[in-house]
Structure 1
């Protein structure tokens, strides 16, 4: 997700959430093991009953942080893969130089041996230096990757804590929903708050799409308008809620019919239960 997308999401109702949930947004600790994760659980223990709207705003902010961190982790893993290739090449080159050194050192031609040995020793020193530098870079990469993984665990714990504090009534759509659109294959998160028949919320989708939701729910059917933070009124969604109140299946229609992509299709949403986080 780009920087503009992050700023846009954080502007949509999240500032208020930060004001009422200070403990949930303390700087992430530099965790080094399971004990630190347990300590974080203690930090997140709620002291008071919070408004669902505030918790949903906090959840959408955490989802943005999770997406940013996950993207950063993918990039670091890519760098680690490239580093392994460079390391193997450097080690192979150094091994060849060692073989050449043994051959020259054990040769019987003492006249030419001294010059060859001096040249090989210099090349080996340079190669050993490159291997050491690569080793230091690999160590730093692995440390960053482990730190990123720990941050993802911490963000998941925060999301889990907030999700567990949301209303558990099956007749309410209030909560966090994992969504998927077909045929565009977009996926992301809806945070929805239901007040009677009125629906409000926010969303974050793959590729940096984010914005707000508004609509109604009547007779087991939901009607939503997706309002993009950049393009404005973007698409209309309708769907049928399952009997358990935990799943939605429906259709969507994009308002921009000139777009060079699919402008209609189907969508599915699954409500996260207490104690669960993003898949």
Structure 2
């Protein structure tokens, strides 16, 4: 069945819009997956750092116990040497006294035990240093992940003056940022108003405009400037209307707070 010729441009437009919307959705899903992966990595690293800190605490406890054993052994060895010296000076021992040979064997046994304790303390020192190095490495990795998409600088919160092209329609966006999540409201020329939902990842802004009467009406993408004061990007309508553009560019400039513009103290 052949459709009238006038339907061909409409079908082509629907096909193009559908393709762009699908591409935008895939890109946003990829961003969200990246965020979930980063969150999972942070959770895993926090588990590892907790385990490593517990291992460090055990090693420190064992080292303290080894220090106590070594001090006791040193005291015992010193006492045995004193007793052996007294026996040697005396020249003979009574039946109820320990012989020089017995004292010498006890000294040898105590010195072997002290040597083993020193070896254990060396092993524990290496283990403690290793745990601290692991903790330092994990903390650096966590810091890197916290600076990546999981926590963007919260520069979007505030009011923004928006201009749509090519229509030159104007709007005011009031945005609130929490990490990568963006929420807010808008008021636009023509009496349009509604809510905004989206994300900010690596200074790339994605917003979904939801009109209070028409529902999901358009999608916006933009790049936040390095000074966090302007956004430039493109928009795409989800509503096909006669003689109305369905795509275009948009810009936004952040309004300075009243306190800052008045020059008053914060």
Q: TM-score, normalised by structure 2?
A: 0.44
Q: TM-score, normalised by structure 1?
A: 0.42
Larger Rg: 2
Comparing both chains, which one has the higher relative contact order based on Cα–Cα distances under 8 Å and sequence gaps of 6 or more? 1
